[in-house]
Amino acid sequence: MSEHPVPPVPPVHPDQPERSERSARSRSRAPRGDGGPEPEAIRFFGTTWVGHDGGYALRRVVVAAGSLVTTVAACFVLRFAYEGLEIADVGAFVGVLVIAVFSVCGAIAFRRTWDGFQRRPADPAREESLRSVKTIGFIGALLAYFLRSLAEAPGEGLRRGEYETAVAQYERRRGARAGNPAARAGGKGGKPKRG
């Protein structure tokens, strides 16, 4: 009789059930490998937003801090540019016009970026035409990115809703294709005979 080596059993820790439950929950939200819908990656987060794993919390902190620092730096750059206009003595009208343009473009960029985190654009061509406005008002877009990253990965709510809907539809379709074997087995005999 030959002996087969038995793999060692890892020691059980008091917190192991909690850890295994957490990993099971993470696996259920992880990207699917069975041909089902795959979650859409978010810039700087990839698909870590699905299970809030893979350094998701740290990424949110870094993205929030990075967007805030970039916003502040951009404000300083604009301030230096405005001081350059004052030194060039171009006149009060040009100064007011520059402030108005950056303020309006910043407000539009903030609004469009914020809306983009909540729903897909109804008219992608219009969004494309506003790209130059959003570029000029980049401070507004950065501010929207910072504020949204305080609550979640920017765009996470939108993508989570779409992903969960796609998964539910996929499961329904897969269930409909497979059918209910018990119902099929019971239906083979047709109608029950009356006695």
Q: What is the pLDDT of residues 17-57, one digit of tens each?
A: 444 334 433 434 444 556 788 999 999 999 999 999 989 99
Mean pLDDT of 99-112: 94
Torsion (CA) 95, 101, 106, 111 in degrees, nearest 10: 150
Euclidean distance between CA atoms 95 and 113, whole angstroms: 27
* Token digits of residue 44: 């700087």
DSSP state of 46: B
> In angstroms, what CA-CA distances link 57 with 54, 91, 148, 149, 156?
9, 48, 14, 10, 13
State the pLDDT at residue 16.
Answer: 45
Mean pLDDT of 90-110: 91
